Structure 1
Amino acid sequence: MQIWKRNLFICWFGMFVTSVGMSQIAPVLPLYIKHLGVHSSALIAQFSGIAFGATYIISAVFSPIWGQAADKYGRKPMLLRASLGMAIVIFSMGFAQNVYELIGLRILQGIITGYSTACTTLIATQTDNEHAGWALGTLSTANIAGSLLGPMIGGFIEGNFGLQNVFFITGTMLLISFITTALFIKESFTRQDKKALSNKEIWNTIPEKSLTITMLVTFFVLTLALYSIEPIITVYVSQLSPNTNHVALLAGITFSASGLANIIAAPRLGKISDKIGAQKVIFVALVMAGLIFIPQAFVKNPWQFIGLRFSLGLAAAGLIPSVNTLIKRITPASLTGRVFGFTMSAGYLGVFGGSVLGGQVAAYWGIRYVFLITSALLLINALWVYLKVYKKLSLKEEAYMHE
């Protein structure tokens, strides 16, 4: 087996587990905070929001820092640091004595993160352009699937094994990821940039600044769109089916539908982007995702909603691998880790921003407006991508064909 394919398999498992570790706390957080001695409903809600959001905000700050370290010291050391660090921190959450210790550990988890950035950089730099879309598409399914399935996994562990075991089991899985990374990931790393560059110097070295900014914004909008619905899924499902006793189950299926579709479609759409151009897949995927959000505001039962969420996952699956493929192609190898670090920051901010946006819009205007506003954001982003990326790269390809 080629080294990059073996690394892809190990990285996929590690990214999935890391992503589960970031998101699995969502459904059990209020219960665990109550277990830690907080009994006021208002305080539980307040502490839950802080504990959940803190990890993503801090991760957004530290992702570029770990991306720079990956370019400087190699990607494998960053993988080992992140997987072992997160294993210890998440395992320790099971021993928290009060809510402040839990929040402190969630902040520390955000600082330690960086596994996904290092994995994406490793695979992007080891894979040739012919297979980059497929490889990065396959890898992207780990993050999305872990983020979307994490809450269900956390809820399942809590229901069957108890609150504290959510953290113990997830920590053990991350320790397994650390061991497999140490034993099986192979990297021959030679640092290309010997001199420490300032952020301004790094930015000046990036040849396609406009394209890079557009891709970062697209990554942010995509994750914001996926997570804007998260706070209101259970409430919406209960409104669509007021007489059912299985709201939690239907909400869980709805929540996971996009993740399942993403796992199915992302590698295939990544392969298509290798053939026809990443910019074309990004544009079409944004338009399709934007349009699919509109009917979600008008569904009559949970199964229609689940079907549309699955369709959304199929459309959105083309975005992350194509964005990463395009970034790989326009970024010098010595800066790949740093630029992917900024990409991950945009994603983490999108998760946090989406959760806040969905909750606030639903509270002030109603649930249906969450879908309509998210759709508008995606379609505006599609127009921007068409003007700034699609037309520009298509003209370059035409000029290249005529030479």
Structure 2
Amino acid sequence: MSDNQLAPNSWQRNLKVLWFGTFMASIGFSEVMPFLSLYVDSMGTFNRGQLSLYSGLAFAASYFVTALASPLWGKMADRTGRKLMLNRASLGMAIVFILMGLAMNVWQLIALRLLQGVFSGYISNANALIATQVPKRRSGQALGMLVTGNVSGALFGPLLGGTLASLFSYRMTFFITGFLFILVFLVTAIFVKEDFQPTAKAKMLNTKGVIGELANAKLVFWLFTTTMIIQAANNSIVPILSLYVRQIMNNSPATTFYSGIVAAVPGIATLFAAPLLGRVGDRIGTDRILIIGFILAIAVYIPMAFVTNVWQLIALRFVIGVANASMLPAVQTILAKNTPPQVTGRVFSWNQSFQAMGNVAGPMIGSFVSSAFDYAGVFISTALLVVINLTLVYHSTQSMRNARRQ
């Protein structure tokens, strides 16, 4: 029996379990981010330049390794099943985060952040497993729902992490995060069901063979590039967002509070919009939803450069959350609809690699543009990135539609 031959309601049960798993995993990833640089600072006496360098290395290390390791784990997923990769990722992350709480110097922490990248892949394998089990006509709705677990966890994570670090300590928060991943491992191991028939190593397809299995390989690789640019655009404004809030609020004492609102608002919008847009995409075409998302993002990023008060920025950031809800979930849905089940693991892992590259490139672009121009220039450059993405996606999806008509 293959992935697609499970009992009719199996994918719905798995979706609920994996929603919880991605929610908890996303909390685990995000709750240490607010104080990671402070944790670095507590490990020694550093000047400002050293602290910036070591903090940057600690942030980027896991994304860099994720980009390299994901294709290897994707190949393993297609051979052994996605559930095994979910268990591997969650248990590995549990061990790494507990060890981070025991790190004695910054180089040990950076090494463990590199190791964290090796154990990446829970969320991408959750997407791949659901993509292989859900009926194609409902994949947009299902993957959109799964995204809400990731987004809501990312929203609650920083708040929980800051609270735990204030009540206990940085190290204790790492230990608690490790135990969260142990919980994710147990829930996944016990409740996720996958009827997977292992593929003999000799019969495993190489990269050329995987590409040959794709009916529209050009479209799939354009979607990888789209994922990278989406992540780069979303993250390009991360380094300057609180500084931009401080500027438009004229150094108000309330800057920190409003910076938190500005950072959280897109996630709240995405949380509510993603399932709805997924269902609409299943009816009118996911590629149309994706293009609408790009147009909406362009229309919003440009006026962000010219806001005169924080409430204008908050309103525009909310709309960006709606645009985000129509972009990454749509890419994953189109991938799911254009990828045979036997190579889904590798295709989704390649997509994760491009996503990680966007996570690394985005803040670098934002930092460079803000230093060469000003904060407003970052929003303009981000809009240009989205224009490039819209052009690529429009031509690739038009080719897809033309191929369907023939």
Per the TM alignment, residue 121 of structure 1 is displaced from its structure 2 partner at its CA by: 0.9
Aligned to 1:322: 330
Unpaired runs of 5+ residues, structure 1, are: none
Native 8 Å contact 1:63 1:114 kept in 2: yes
- For the pair 1:338 / 2:371, whether they are aligned, the reply is no
Count of residues in correspondence between the two structures:
398
The answer (yes or no) to whether the contact 1:191–1:334 under 8 Å persists in 2 is no
Q: Could you tell me whether the CA contact under 8 Å between 2:219 and 2:400 is conserved in 1? A: no
In 2, Cα distance between equivalents of 1:177 and 1:255? 26
Residue ranges of structure 2 left out of the alignment (5+ in a row) = 1-7
1:70 matches 2:96: no
Return the alpha-carbon distance in structure 1 between the equivalents of residues 316 and 379 of structure 2.
12
Distance 1:156 1:304 in 2: 29
Instruction: Select which of 69, 87, 93 maps to 2:100.
Output: 93
Report the alpha carbon displacement of residue 204 of structure 1 after superposing the two structures with TM. 2.7
Q: Aligned equivalents of 2:259 and 2:237: distance in 1? A: 11
Corresponding residue for residue 59 of structure 2: 52
Q: What does 1:164-175 correspond to in 2, within 5 Å? A: 164-175=171-182
* Distance in 1 separating the partners of 2:154 and 2:200: 34
Alignment correspondent of 1:236 = 244
User: Match of 2:5?
Assistant: none
* Identity fraction in percent: 39
Match of 2:111 in 1: 104
* Deviation at residue 150 of structure 1 after TM alignment: 3.8
Tell me, yes or no, if the aligned pair for 2:24 and 2:181 is still in contact at 8 Å.
yes
- Matches of 2:98 and 2:166, distance apart in 1: 18
Equivalent positions of 1:190-205 (< 5 A) are 190-191=197-198, 195-205=203-213
Q: Of residues 207, 211, 214 in structure 1, which corresponds to 2:215? A: 207
Does residue 182 of structure 1 match 2:189? yes
| 8 Å Cα contact 1:149/1:256 also seen in 2 | no
Mapped partners of 1:52, 1:106: distance in 2? 8
Corresponding residue number in structure 2 for 1:227: 235
Equivalent residue of 1:27, what SS? Answer: helix
Letter in 2 for 1:130: R
TM-score, with length taken from structure 1 = 0.94
2:33 aligns to what SS in structure 1? Answer: coil
Q: Report the Cα offset of residue 320 of structure 1.
A: 1.6
Distance 1:396 1:215 in 2: 17
Q: Is the 8 A contact 2:273 2:322 kept in 1?
A: yes
Q: Which amino acid aligns with 2:101?
A: G
Change (3 A) 1:193 1:271: farther
3-state SS of 1:38 partner: coil
Q: 1:245 to 1:182 in 2, by over 3 A?
A: same
Aligned: 1:12 with 2:56 = no
Call closer, same or farther: CA 1:148–1:220 in 2, change over 3 Å: farther
Q: What SS does structure 1 have at the residue aligned with 2:167?
A: helix
Runs of 4+ aligned residues of structure 1 deviating over 4 Å after TM superposition are: none
Give me the TM-score of the superposition, normalised by structure 2.
0.94
Residue 26 of structure 1 deviates from its aligned partner by 2.8
Distance in 2 (CA, whole Å) between partners of 1:109 and 1:262 is 27
Deviation at 1:192, TM superposition (A): 5.7
- SS in structure 1 at match of 2:104: coil
1:32 aligned to 2:39? yes
Cα displacement string for residues 135-177 of structure 1 (whole angstroms, at most 9, x for unaligned residues): 0011123334444554444333323332122212211111111
Aligned with 2:391 (options 376, 383, 403): 383
What residue is the counterpart of 1:259 in the other structure?
267
CA offsets per residue over residues 28-50 of structure 1, 9 Å max, x none? Answer: 12211121123322111110000
8 Å Cα contact 1:86/1:174 also seen in 2? yes
String of CA shifts for 1:77-129, please: whole Å, max 9, x gaps.
11111101101111221111111111111111100111112111110011001
- Equivalence for 1:272: 280
Using the TM superposition, give the Cα deviation of residue 217 of structure 1 relative to its aligned residue in structure 2, in angstroms. 1.0
Per the TM alignment, residue 71 of structure 1 is displaced from its structure 2 partner at its CA by 0.9
Q: Structure 2: which amino acid aligns with 1:187?
A: E
Asked if structure 2 preserves the Cα contact closer than 8 Å seen for 1:261 and 1:310, the reply is: yes
CA distance in 2, matches of 1:224, 1:313: 15
User: Does 195-204 or 224-233 show the bigger shift?
Assistant: 195-204
| 1:311 to 1:269, Cα distance in 2 relative to 1, 3 A | same
| In structure 2, distance between residues paired with 1:60 and 1:145 | 24
Distance in 2 of aligned mates of 1:59 and 1:146: 20
Counterpart secondary structure, 1:28: helix
